[in-house]
A and B are shown apart, each in its own frame.
Chain A
Amino acid sequence: MSGAVASTVTFREALREGLRAAMAADERVFLMGEDVGRYGGSFGVSRGLLDEFGPQRIRDAPLSESAFVGAGVGAALGGMRPIVEIMTVNFSLLALDQIVNTAASLSHMSGGQFHVPLVIRMTTGAGRQLAAQHSHSLECWYAHVPGLRVLAPATIDDARWMLAGALADPDPVVIFEHGSLYAREGEPPGPGPVDLAHAEVRRAGSDVTLIAYCNGVRIALAAAETLAGEGISAEVLDLRVLRPLDADAILASVERTHRCVVVDEGWRSVGLAAEVSALIMEGAFYDLDAPVARVCSAEVPMPYAKHLEDAALPQPERVVSAVRGLGLGPR
């Protein structure tokens, strides 16, 4: 990262470096959102950037999600490359109109005349005892919408480099940053760039495919480690891009392993895991040796108490248990 040579960096630092590089590379880029400037970002991602780039380009916005997201759409139409930060996906519901009815629709609705090169970053996910209004995983709401590209970084490398690709995209991109990942440390990022189309195998395996994204990748990798101790070889596929889904990579992996568990922090009903399962059913039905299993969040608003929150969320043990349910575990 900038300055000192660190042996490891955090996910947060990688995101910040991505922001800094994007701001430095293109003067049309600016960051706008609640507390991105003086406060340093509600999760500290933009800390220090105000001093470097000034209040024009690191722009604190009042608490008016719909107006500042819509202003991002308008500024993008006016020739800028805005990055809008929304504090959490829960708060983004206040801006859903601007994202769905305007940003995602404008190109098609105008017969291809107008384009919205807007990047929206928002925090998602639970695990920090923030309860029901700061913890939900509503990625699938956005992944449902034609006209958007939806990104879900799980690694330091993607945290560092996905933003550059998103800014190069002429259409609106939503990036989900999982709150539990910000403080995670890892190897410094590679030299980039990264592509914004493909899922990535994070651990190769031959007996079962664990499909995940964001913090789910960490959970799937932990489960794969446990499973390895039981002689089960699990492949971990990081979706990375939630819209459009990389169907080829999903089907290719399942065709190799013949079994699949989808790990999704969203609620189980009508969610991303359901979509991935349907896709596998349609494209790899005859390759399956067992029904696709899903490990999702319990269908309750996220509770505050630690033991209840833990119980509501996908955990490595639940993934391991789901794999055993596919007829692979010790009998």
Chain B
Amino acid sequence: MTAADREQRLHLLSEMLRIRRLEERCIELYSSAEIRGFMHVYIGEEGVAVGALQALTPDDNVVATYREHGHALVRGIPARSIMAEMLGRMEGCSRGRGGSMHLFDAGTRFFGGNAIVAGGLPLAVGLALAEHFRREGRVTVCFFGEGAIAEGEFHESMNLAALWQLPVLFLCENNLYAMGTALERSESQTDLPLKAASYEVPAWSVDGMDVEAVQQSVRRAIEMIRGGGGPCFLEARTYRFRAHSMYDPDLYRGKDEIAAWRERDPIDSFVARLRTDGDLDDPALGLIEAAVAEELDDAVAFARAGTLEPVEQLARFLYTEAVP
């Protein structure tokens, strides 16, 4: 293992910790009523976004769901900007109009933040269709939960992307529950890659609790797509440790099940692997945690000091404003 490899592995760890700690802060801010509305945290699933987004270039497109704090952060939206959005401030990445579920950033080609389950899939197909015409070398990655597979838009989008051989990766984050409905209670066929394969889309599964496995799998998929192979479907098997949203009493799954998945925490297990491999010791981990804490202290302070958009500007951005 080279120094660069070690550096890269520590980067993966650091990115997962950034998400975990950011969302822990968000939960605190929710408890203190500084964040309101629906908020869905990604805790337990960090390995998927972190592993997947390593394979992209800044020119690629990302479409995500309402559980997208982690994707936004790893894609490069500053923690400050995300936190300000959570607090409804003008300095937020959607100027306070989106909130937790609608983080957007044109600079990093982060197209949201879509809170309609499966609503992002046709959009991703369209971004890939634009690439089909423009040949700018962009791949589109579309994240969605397994709940989206029950929607017609999943099937329509799969068909369209395969029919037109579009450069899009459909990345299904299977956390086993669509809100409170377990996969086996909502799908007659629970083999998700099989569904994608029926549209002639290359499809396979990966352990979503293993950040390096995700990274490897997504790299392979992106290479196939960039090589002109059309769309791919990847199922990342993962689990959310927290309830669906801050409103969810989490009555639909057993504590034993949650505890069993927590044993496979993507951060803890990666830390253990890094220690075994001699890539991480306590001081190194302490340094990473300290840097993350510093970043988040700054982000929260920035958000709290942010401004509220004047109400007179309520109707701005409904239509494109002329550039002065």
Contact = CB atoms under 8 A, between A and B. Distances in A.
A110 B28 CA distance: 25
A56 B128 CA distance: 14
Interface in A6-42: 28, 30
A74 B128 contact: yes
Nearest to B129: A75
A101 interface: yes
A62 B114 CA distance: 24
A110 B131 contact: no
B116 to A, nearest CB: 5
A114 interface: yes
Max chain B C-beta neighbours (<10 A), residue from A62, A71, A76, A112: A71
B125 A74 contact: yes
A90 interface: no
A326 to B, nearest CB: 36
A111 interface: yes
A45 to B, nearest CB: 22
B318 A108 contact: yes
A74 B130 contact: yes
Contacts of B92: 111
Chain B at the A interface: SS class: mixed
Nearest to B319: A171
Interface residues of A, number: 40
A64 B116 contact: no
Contacts of A113: 94, 104-106
Interface stretch (A77-85, A292-300, A317-325): A77-85
Contact of B61 (A78, A106, A112): A78
Interface in B258-288: none
Contacts of A67: 121-122, 125, 153, 156-157, 159-160
Interface in B132-184: 133-134, 138, 140, 152-153, 156-157, 159-160, 163
A108 to B, nearest CB: 5
A171 B320 contact: yes
Contacts of A69: 122
Contact of B130 (A62, A78, A102, A110): A78
Interface stretch (B47-55, B95-103, B240-248, B300-308): B95-103
B320 A78 contact: no
Interface of B: 61, 92-98, 102, 104-106, 111-114, 116, 119, 121-131, 133-134, 138, 140, 152-153, 156-157, 159-160, 163, 316-321
26 contacts: A28-B133, A62-B160, A67-B153, A67-B159, A69-B122, A70-B122, A71-B122, A74-B122, A74-B123, A74-B124, A77-B130, A80-B129, A97-B119, A98-B123, A101-B116, A107-B318, A107-B320, A108-B317, A109-B104, A109-B113, A110-B112, A111-B95, A111-B98, A112-B316, A113-B104, A113-B106
Q: Give the top 9 A-B pairs by smallest Cβ distance, nearest first.
A: A74-B126, A70-B122, A78-B130, A111-B95, A67-B156, A112-B317, A64-B156, A110-B104, A71-B126
